[in-house]
């Protein structure tokens, strides 16, 4: 088992050196751990939606999100929040320094041929919001 772990870390490190970005998905739940952050060459940290969804109404969820954002940045990682469903949550995460997000507030799953139109609308909407 130890040999398999070493082989896996070797492959991940080689991918990272080749310019691939590796993410820890669903951070804060399941098998993700602080030990992974230290041992594996990840470049992104994705905060699990179970914390993100309620960050605007639950102080503990908000604290976990903010702490995870700070931790990820201290480890020179890009931090992405999963499960953003409202502008209140999105605004809170942006204020906390979150780098990016995904969820129904940003965009629902769509066919590829609709993506270009969606992206134009998103950019237009956010251009006026940041002015």
Q: Kindly report, residue by residue over 84-93, the tens digit of the pLDDT.
A: 999 999 999 9
pTM, full prediction: 0.74
What are phi and psi for residue 126, nearest 5 degrees? Answer: -80, -25
CB atoms within 10 A of CB 25: 15
Place of tokens 């041992």: 39
- Give the domain extent around 39: 2-130
CATH number of the domain enclosing 27: 3.20.20.450
Residues sharing a CB contact under 8 Å with residue 96, sequence separation 6 or more, in sequence order: 65, 66, 69
pLDDT tens string 5-60? 567 777 877 887 788 877 777 676 665 566 767 767 788 999 999 999 999 999 99
* Per-residue tokens: 44: 């992104």
pLDDT tens string 58-102? 999 999 999 999 999 998 999 999 999 999 999 999 999 999 999
Going by C-alpha positions, the residue among 13, 31, 27 that lies closest to residue 80 is 27
Instruction: Please tell me the distance from the alpha carbon of residue 70 to that of residue 90, in angstroms, as a whole number.
Output: 17
Domain count, the chain: 1
Q: What is the pLDDT of residue 40?
A: 72
When pLDDT is averaged across residues 100-109 and rounded to a whole number, the result is 91
Instruction: Please tell me the distance from the alpha carbon of residue 104 to that of residue 39, in angstroms, as a whole number.
Output: 33
Would you name the residues annotated as active-site residues?
82
Contact between 96 and 88 (Cβ < 8 Å): no
Q: What is the pLDDT of residue 121?
A: 87
Instruction: Please tell me the distance from the alpha carbon of residue 46 to that of residue 49, in angstroms, as a whole number.
Output: 9
Task: Convert 1-15 to b/e letters by CB count within 10 Å (16 or more is b).
Answer: eeeeeeeeeeebeee
Q: What is the pLDDT of residue 29?
A: 64
């Amino acid at each position: 088992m130890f040999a398999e772990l070493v082989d896996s870390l070797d492959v991940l490190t080689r991918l990272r050196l080749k310019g691939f970005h590796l993410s820890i998905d669903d951070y804060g739940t399941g098998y993700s751990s602080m030990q992974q952050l230290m041992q594996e060459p990840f470049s992104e940290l994705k905060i699990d939606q179970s914390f993100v969804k309620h960050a605007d109404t639950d102080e503990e969820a908000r604290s976990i999100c903010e702490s995870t954002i700070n931790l990820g940045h201290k480890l020179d990682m890009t931090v992405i929040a999963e499960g953003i469903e409202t502008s209140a949550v999105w605004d809170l995460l942006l204020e906390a320094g979150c780098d990016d997000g995904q969820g129904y507030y940003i965009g629902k799953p769509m066919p590829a041929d609709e993506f270009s139109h969606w992206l134009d609308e998103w950019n237009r909407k956010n251009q006026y919001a940041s002015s």
